[in-house]
């Protein structure tokens, strides 16, 4: 059975099945049971493997925030934590990995359904702050970010935005982070079907075991995980053109600080 077929049987992403097969992620017991059924394992084998999965399921840190993130995003957090190169474009908001706490809380409050209470918002903010720890670890991923200039215009409040832009200026000087701004007057023809996406690359030794690069893009009801060679090539071409069209890192820093000074007045 192909990986694509197995993923379809369980309604999981292809990268998730790769991670199960290469041992980089412990399968959830329900997924083990589903795979056993799909592969034709007998009842005794299924029972034994499900029991092993329960014992071996050492949860990632994000599992402690039960209910704060949907299952489709749980998969992404796991992938993000294992990537060694992240490329991200966002036309509307500052990337979550680079948000201040105040900006993150304002964005989350503006976007979550009305039934989510204060505790639910706080959990989501904490998840976002915890995700940023990958940038502080001993071997952090290379993070290349392109922000549409509109992200600098859409403000949840002058004080919050001034702090956020000051933070962007600071982190953009780290050796593992590059930050570019795509000017407002540019309409990028390659992004007609969705303006925000992330591309994740993984260490070579892991890719040799079968984990390919991946594109992640959210939509209104969930997210898509793309890993077919043609899909990766298409997004790579879009990324390269965004880099060409965007301001240089030095020019981008100037743009960011120009907006920051406006918010500070």
Instruction: Choose the most confident range, by mean pLDDT, from 55-59, 80-84, 88-92.
Output: 88-92
**Would you list the DSSP string of the chain?**
--HHHHHHHHT--HHHHHHHHHTSSPPPHHHHHHHHHHHT--HHHHHHHHHHHHHH----GGGGSTTTS-HHHHHHHHHHHH-SEEEEEESSS--GGG--HHHHHHHHHHHS-TT--HHHHHHHHHHHHHHGGGGTSSSPPEEEEEEETHHHH--S-HHHHHHHHHHHHHHTTSTTEEEEEE-TT---GGGTT-S-EEEEE--HHHHHTT---EEEEE-SS-EEEE-SHHHHHHHHHHHHHHHHHSPPHHHHHHHHHHHHHHHH-
In the predicted structure, residue 55 carries a pLDDT above the cut 80: no
In the predicted structure, residue 52 carries a pLDDT above the cut 60: yes
8 versus 75: the higher-pLDDT residue is 8
Q: Taking the domain 69-264, which CATH number applies?
A: 3.30.870
In the predicted structure, residue 98 carries a pLDDT above the cut 90: yes
pLDDT at 206: 45
What is the tens place of the pLDDT at every residue in 58-76?
556 655 666 666 666 777 8
Domain regions of the chain by residue span: 1-58, 69-264
Q: Provide mean pLDDT across the span 236-247.
A: 92
What is the tens place of the pLDDT at every residue in 111-147?
888 888 888 889 889 989 999 999 998 889 999 999 9
In the predicted structure, residue 205 carries a pLDDT above the cut 70: no
Instruction: Choose the most confident range, by mean pLDDT, from 115-129, 204-218, 244-258.
Output: 244-258
What is the tens place of the pLDDT at every residue in 158-191?
999 999 999 999 999 999 999 999 998 876 655 6
pLDDT at 150: 92
What is the tens place of the pLDDT at every residue in 231-241?
999 999 999 99
In the predicted structure, residue 200 carries a pLDDT above the cut 60: yes
């Amino acid at each position: 059975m192909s990986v694509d077929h197995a993923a379809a049987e369980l309604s999981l992403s292809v990268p998730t099945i790769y991670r199960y097969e290469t041992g980089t992620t412990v399968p959830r017991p329900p997924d083990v049971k589903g795979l056993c059924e799909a592969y034709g394992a007998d009842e005794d084998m299924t029972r034994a493997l499900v029991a092993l999965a329960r014992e071996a399921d050492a949860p990632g840190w994000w599992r402690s925030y039960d209910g704060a993130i949907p299952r489709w995003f749980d998969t992404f957090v796991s992938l993000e934590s294992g990537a060694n190169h992240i490329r991200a474009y966002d036309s509307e908001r500052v990337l979550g990995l680079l948000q201040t706490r105040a900006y993150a809380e304002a964005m989350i409050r503006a976007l979550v359904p009305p039934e989510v209470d204060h505790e639910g918002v706080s959990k989501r903010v904490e998840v976002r702050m915890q995700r940023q720890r990958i940038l502080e670890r001993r071997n952090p991923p290379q993070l290349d970010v392109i922000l549409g200039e509109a992200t600098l215009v859409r403000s949840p409040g002058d004080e919050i935005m001034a702090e956020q832009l000051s933070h962007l200026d600071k982190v953009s000087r780290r050796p593992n982070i590059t930050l570019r701004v795509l000017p407002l007057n540019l309409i990028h023809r390659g992004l007609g079907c969705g303006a925000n996406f992330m591309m994740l690359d993984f260490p070579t030794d892991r890719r040799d075991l079968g984990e390919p690069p991946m594109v992640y893009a959210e939509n209104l009801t969930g997210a898509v995980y793309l890993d077919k060679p043609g899909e990766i090539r298409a997004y790579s071409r879009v990324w390269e053109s965004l880099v060409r069209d965007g301001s240089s890192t030095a020019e981008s820093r100037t743009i960011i600080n120009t907006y920051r000074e406006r918010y500070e007045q």
